[in-house]
Amino acid sequence: MELKEKIIQRKAVVGVIGLGYVGLPLALEFCRAGFHVIGFDVNLNRVNAINSGKSYIQDIHPEVIAEALQQHRLQASVDFSLLEGVDTVSICVPTPLRKTKDPDISYIVAAVEQIARYLHRGELIVLESTTYPGTTNEVILPELSKTGLKVGEDFYLAFSPERVDPGNTRFTTRNIPKVIGGITQECTDVAMALYQQIIEQVIPVSSTRAAEMVKLLENTFRSVNIALVNEIALMCDKLGIDVWEVINAAATKPFGFMPFYPGPGLGGHCIPLDPFYLAWKLKTLNYTARFIELAGEINAFMPNYVVGKITEALNKVEKSVKNSKILILGVAYKKDVNDVRESPALDIISLLEKQEAVVYYNDPLIPEIQEERVFLKSADLTDSFLAEMDCTVIVTDHSSYDYQWLVDNSRIVIDTRNATKKVRDPRKVIKKL
């Protein structure tokens, strides 16, 4: 039976490598569509959690995993020899940056080496991990071709960028359009047949390079525009203008303007990192991505700017940062998620601790931080605890916070997210970005 026919009849065995915030939701969508799915991960704790019906991802309810297990549609494993029995493989592994801001594709390479060991005729491989244009063609294809199998005939290879937005209940794996580009047209067709089984709209592009570039454009667009509005916030501060008023008024224009909002810096798994994949690739071609570099500088500066505002606010009440008790409200990289990756809150805490402040934090979704620079546990919020703090800094505007209560019970509030816009008598809100 040809692969496309097996896919359409839902008889193909689907493999997913990497069971994180991208891979696990994808695997469960395939289960929901009636496929048997084998999920692979090097993290034994993740594998054991899934096989026990537990979820470690905020957006996924344990009941969904339990149902897939009960229907015998899902299994998780650290044993990559099971790749021998799959018909398709979606690679959903991390692609971090090194400290030098060079791409680290070691997780992709490791996954592909395992796939190559068990590659067989009639198999589809799709890379979903964000990477620089050319990775699929220049890194993955040569490794798979060493088996003697020919792409587009014996096996199929494509790239389809993940577009998951953690915490977004409106747009999920199922209804976010899926871009797909194959090494050959046949590769694109087979990959489209697979994803059309679980995703409402599938959009083909001409090549893997084009598909890789799509994701980088999307996140570079956000990074550059966030940097622009962050710089506008710095300008408005110099001019004594409320940047939030300016943005809200500009947003009333029904064409030619899209509102972006300033903040304490960029965080998360995509926007702070992905543009530098593109910048790195262009450096190898003797081209400097100036917008990307400048946007990175501005966004990276914002935690320092926030600390400067904290210092100013404390100075007004004749206090120094040293020995002041400072509460950071929210350490997740964005509201209503439990993820601290690249969060600007970590930079703000680190900068304050270097100035010998006594730093506390509260985040209802993150009970403790165990990062390279920061080791803290979330403090309980009470009237008396807030009253003890010299300064309260809103870094992540979680929906669960009662901002009126926070302002009423705090001495000084620094609001980096305009979270207190509806607060009555906001005289304690010393500074907004």
Provide the CATH number for the domain around residue 46.
3.40.50.720
Mean pLDDT (the chain, rounded): 95
Look at residue 1 in the predicted model and tell me its pLDDT: 56
Q: What pLDDT shows up at residue 99?
A: 78
Ordered mean pLDDT values, 10 residues apiece, the chain (433 residues): 92 98 97 98 97 95 97 97 98 90 94 98 97 97 98 98 90 96 98 98 98 97 97 97 96 97 91 92 95 96 97 95 98 94 95 97 96 89 96 97 95 95 79 70
Model confidence over 130-181: pLDDT tens digits? 999 999 999 999 999 999 999 999 999 999 999 988 888 899 999 999 999 9
Statement to judge: residues 93 and 181 lie in one domain:
yes
Residues 19 and 164 in one domain: yes
Task: Establish if 347 belongs to a structural domain.
Answer: yes
Decide if 160 is inside a domain. Answer: yes
pLDDT of residue 72: 96
- Of 330, 343, 322, 332, which is closest to residue 390 (Cα–Cα)? 322
Q: Is 210 domain-assigned?
A: yes
Euclidean distance between CA atoms 335 and 167, whole angstroms:
8
Residue-number span of the structural domain to which 204 is assigned: 3-215
Same domain, yes or no: 150 and 7 = yes
Q: Would you say 274 and 215 are in contact if contact means Cβ atoms under 8 Å apart?
A: yes
Domain termination residue (choose one: 200, 215, 230): 215
Residue 18 falls in which region: left (phi positive, over 0), alpha (psi -120 to 50) or beta: left
Q: Mark whether 282 and 198 lie in a shared domain.
A: no
Residue type, 198: I
Q: Is residue 222 part of a domain?
A: no
Q: Which pLDDT does position 100 carry in this prediction?
A: 81
pLDDT at 324: 98
Examine the domain organization and report whether 278 and 158 are in the same domain. Answer: no
pLDDT in tens, 333-360: 999 999 999 999 999 999 999 999 999 9
Last residue of a domain, one of 215, 233, 266: 215
pLDDT of residue 256: 96
Q: What angle do CA 321, 322, 325 make, to 5 degrees?
A: 70
Alpha-carbon gap, residue 327 to 198, rounded angstroms: 44
What does the pLDDT read at residue 394? 98
Residues 288 and 392 in one domain: yes
Q: Provide the b/e sequence for 203-215 (b: ≥16 CB within 10 Å).
A: ebbebbbebbbbb
Q: Are residues 277 and 391 in the same domain?
A: yes
User: Where a domain ends, among 215, 230, 254?
Assistant: 215
The pair of three-digit structure tokens given for residue 326, joined into one six-digit string: 């400072």
Q: Is residue 180 domain-resident? A: yes
Q: Are both 203 and 266 inside the same structural domain?
A: no
| Total structural domains within the chain | 2
On whether residue 226 sits in a domain, the answer given is no
Strand-by-strand arrangement of the 202-204 sheet:
74-77, 36-40, 13-17, 88-91, 123-127, 155-159, 178-182, 202-204
- According to the model, what pLDDT value does residue 424 have? 87
DSSP string, 91-122: E-----B-TTS-B--HHHHHHHHHHHHH--TT
Q: Is residue 230 part of a domain?
A: no
C-alpha atoms less than 13 angstroms from C-alpha of 121 in its C-beta half-sphere? 5
DSSP output for 26-46: HHHHHHHTT-EEEEE-S-HHH
Query: Does 233 map to a domain?
Result: no
Told to judge if 270 belongs to the known catalytic residues of this protein, a careful annotator would answer: yes
Question: Is there a single domain that holds both residue 208 and residue 302?
Answer: no
Q: Which of 31, 236, 270, 391 is catalytic?
A: 270
Residues 250 and 392 in one domain: yes
Judge if 172 and 268 occupy the same domain.
Answer: no
To the nearest 10°, the Cα dihedral for 301, 302, 308, 313? Answer: 180
| pLDDT value for 270 | 86
H helix and E strand count, the chain: 15, 15
Q: Are residues 115 and 258 in the same domain?
A: no
